[in-house]
Structure 1
């Protein structure tokens, strides 16, 4: 996967450093998607990125935890930018129902647009017990998949936009629906994910109505 160096635009980084970090993170996402978390090593990342030595990875990220932190941050930012592009940047966070629809449709469209990111995120979520990994991975993955949406749903209930239900249960149900489409799309790449996205979004918009 090609990662935009702009996503690596951290304080104090030169253009060259940002480009190198983006190259390494993109290669890591590709390796995670291809062989899984447990088989992802600095050696395989080096080969994927076309680097001369694994020391270049250690130089930029120090260790596996630092690299996985950068990978997760990149996936989250990539999905956020994808949402902004799909909505033209016009989505109002206060429009809870519009946000819910956009969240579901974007999550499902993201499966086709960035399949490596989706698989990498799945691997990170399934391997949060790695002693060498980043301790915040589970917290952020869970927030991305469920808790962030649950907060939006709860706020919408307080505003009278949504009906009575348990926000965490509804958010988990939405996440599982998206996961179901991901599994179906992996088995059949010709799946019409746009239609799935629209219909699943409509189902949950109705299910959360007051």
Structure 2
């Protein structure tokens, strides 16, 4: 995966440092996607990135936890940018039903646009208890998948634009529905994901209506 260097511009890195970090993060996402979390080693990342030594990885990220933090942050930012691009940057956070629809349709479209990110995120979530990994992985993944949407649903209920339901249950149902589409798409890449996304969004918009 090609990681944008401007995602790290706010860190005050030089162009060369940002490019190297992006190269390593992109290679790590690729290895996570292809080989899985347990087989993702600095040696495999070095090989994938075409680096001369694993010391270049530890120089930029110190250890596995630092690297996994950077990978997860990059996946989250990539998805946020994807949402902004699909909505023309004009998504109104106060439009709770619109946010719900955009969240679902974007999550489904993301499966095709960034399949390596999706598989890498799945691997990170499944191995969040790794003692050498980043301790905040589960917190951030859960927020990305469920809790962030649950907050929007709860606020929408308070504003009267959503009906009565448990926000965490509804948000988890959305996440599991998207997971189901991911599994179906993996089995049949010819699936019309745009249609899937629209119909899934229609279902949940109706289910949450007052």
Q: TM-score, normalised by structure 2?
A: 0.99
1: CA distance between counterparts of 2:45 and 2:170? Answer: 38
Give the drift of 1:7: 1.1
Q: Give the unaligned 5+ runs of structure 2.
A: none
Equivalent residue, structure 2, for 1:147:
147
Q: Give the unaligned 5+ runs of structure 1.
A: none
Give the drift of 1:129: 1.1
Give the drift of 1:155: 0.2
Tell me the SS of whatever aligns to 1:38: helix
Equivalent residue, structure 1, for 2:61:
61
Runs of 4+ in 1 over 3 A off after TM superposition: none
Question: Is 2:206 aligned against 1:206?
Answer: yes
1: CA distance between counterparts of 2:79 and 2:149? Answer: 14
2: CA distance between counterparts of 1:99 and 1:50? Answer: 41
Q: TM-score, normalised by structure 1?
A: 0.99
Task: Please show how residues 113-192 of structure 1 align to structure 2 within 5 Å.
Answer: 113-192=113-192
Tell me the SS of whatever aligns to 1:9: helix
Query: Which deviations, in whole Å up to 9, do the C-alpha atoms of 1:34-83 show, x marking residues without a partner?
Result: 00000000000000000000000000000000000000000000000000
Give the drift of 1:121: 0.2
Tell me the SS of whatever aligns to 1:91: coil
2: CA distance between counterparts of 1:10 and 1:163? Answer: 40
2: CA distance between counterparts of 1:128 and 1:11? Answer: 25
Give the drift of 1:204: 0.1
Count matched residues: 210
